[in-house]
Amino acid sequence: MTKYNIHALCGHIVTVEIPGNKEEVQKKKKEIENSECSKCKNRTVLEEENTIKTVSYSEYKDIYIGCETVEGSYNDEDKTIDVCVPKNKRWR
Ligand SMILES: [Zn+2]
């Protein structure tokens, strides 16, 4: 199966294997081009109920430890992470 690198609507590159004939491949490609990648989709869902904040990892440990984090958002270089702060809750 061939792997394709497709530019999703959000600007991220999605790597997928698409089975099927040329037509099916084209169709699937279009579909991906016109939607957000799964990470961004996931984030959009989270943003409906949470405010997503980028905080340092120590801040996360101190203040937001009860919060969910955005999968894969930990930045090893500057030690930050995206946390989901529930909109219906007050944090300080
Ligand atoms: Zn994306």
Ordered per-residue pLDDT tens for the chain, 92 residues: 789 999 999 999 999 999 999 999 999 999 999 999 999 999 999 999 999 999 999 999 999 999 999 988 999 999 999 999 999 876 55
pLDDT at 31: 97
* 92 alpha carbon – ligand 1 mean position (Å): 31
* 86 alpha carbon – ligand 1 mean position (Å): 22
Q: How far apart are CA 56 and CA 45, in angstroms?
A: 23
Beta strands in the chain (DSSP E): 3-7, 13-17, 50-56, 68-69, 80-86
Query: Is residue 65 in some structural domain?
Result: yes
CB atoms within 10 A of CB 82: 21
Query: Is residue 29 in some structural domain?
Result: yes
Q: How far apart are CA 9 and CA 26, in angstroms?
A: 16
Q: How far apart are CA 91 and CA 16, in angstroms?
A: 40
Number of domains observed in the structure of the chain: 2
* 35 alpha carbon – ligand 1 mean position (Å): 9
Structural domain range at position 26: 3-36
Query: Is residue 61 in some structural domain?
Result: yes
